[in-house]
Each structure stands twice: as C-alpha cells, then as structure tokens.
Amino acid sequence: MGYTTQAVQATIKYLFEHTKVEELNAVALTHNLPSNKVIQKCGFDLVNRIEIDNEPYNHYKIRRSQWIQ
C-alpha cells in the first residue's frame, strides 16, 4: 500500500471517528488514473462524472455507514 492510500485512509478514519461528518466526497480528473485508483481503493464509490473549469472529473462519495462495514 502506498503512502497516498495510507494518508487517505487515515484521514477517512479520523473524520468518521472524531467528527460528525456523515459523508465524504472526492474528485479526480478522469485521466488521472493513479488518483482515481487511490480513491477507489479507499472505499469511495463513483457517483457520476462532473465538469469543473471545462475539465472532466470523476465524483466519488463514501458514507460513514458504508465505511464501518
């Protein structure tokens, strides 16, 4: 497991265990395959594709209830 994946997993764990956040969002450029892979490995689900400043992004979400399982 890479450093970025570990950092994202630690951030998710902290936010779900120490705050009242119920849902986290992540976005990554569609052509940025390493970022998309990290987000998916951390348990986020692809919601849809969005456009920001004329660039295509994948939009992901993970819910607290999904993470606990």
Domains and their CATH numbers in the chain: 3-68 (3.40.630.30)
pLDDT for 54 beyond 90: yes
**DSSP 8-state assignment for residue 21:** -
pLDDT, averaged across the chain: 95
DSSP code for 1 = -
Asked if 46 contacts 20 with a C-beta cutoff of 8 angstroms, the reply is: no
- Of 7, 45, 3, 50, which is closest to residue 29 (Cα–Cα)? 50
Residue 4: which residues within 8 A CB-CB, separation 6 or more? 38
Q: 0.75 exceeded by the pTM? A: yes
